[in-house]
Amino acid sequence: QSALTQPASVSGSPGQSITISCTGTSSDVGNYKYVSWYQQHPGKAPKLMIYEVSNRPSGVPGRFSGSKSGSTASLTISGLQAEDEADYYCSSYTSSSSLYVVFGGGTKLTVL
């Protein structure tokens, strides 16, 4: 199955903003609003940070925001904090074959 494409790593200093991209196709990101972002700290379960492209679940700081343009979704974290250092995964509903949801390859965020 084809995964969504994410950069392997991004970094930023405390207080800065970073953006993680997630590129798919017209079978997933490009044609559906069901794009999510998950944060995963080492040894922990993923945590939902953004759903339906730009919605934040209750309890997720406003520093986290999501957007989409064409077949590329983006997660932006503003005002970086040390605790934001983690792996981030995007996912999308897909109509490709009988696959239901596809994940990205993950991006390691390092807070310098």
Partner 1 sequence: QITLKESGPTLVKPTQTLTLTCTFSGFSLSTSGVGVGWIRQPPGKALEWLALIYWNDDKRYSPSLMSRLTITKDTSKNQVVLTLTNMDPVDTATYFCAHLISVATFDYWGQGTLVTVSS
- Residues of this chain that bind partner 1 (CB under 8 A): 1, 3, 32, 34, 36, 38, 44-48, 51-52, 57, 89, 91-94, 97-106
Residue 93: CB minimum distance to partner 1, A:
4
Is the Cβ of residue 25 or residue 78 nearer to partner 1 in the bound state?
Answer: 25
Is the Cβ of residue 9 or residue 17 nearer to partner 1 in the bound state?
Answer: 9
Is the Cβ of residue 74 or residue 94 nearer to partner 1 in the bound state?
Answer: 94
Residue 93 has phi, psi (to 5 degrees) of: -65, 145
Residue 42: CB minimum distance to partner 1, A:
10
Residue 75: CB minimum distance to partner 1, A:
15
Q: How far apart are CA 33 and CA 43, in angstroms?
A: 30
Q: Which residues contact 92 (CB under 8 A, 6 or more apart)?
A: 4, 22, 24, 28, 29, 32, 34, 35, 36, 73, 101, 102
Residue 14: CB minimum distance to partner 1, A:
27
Q: What letter would DSSP give residue 3?
A: P
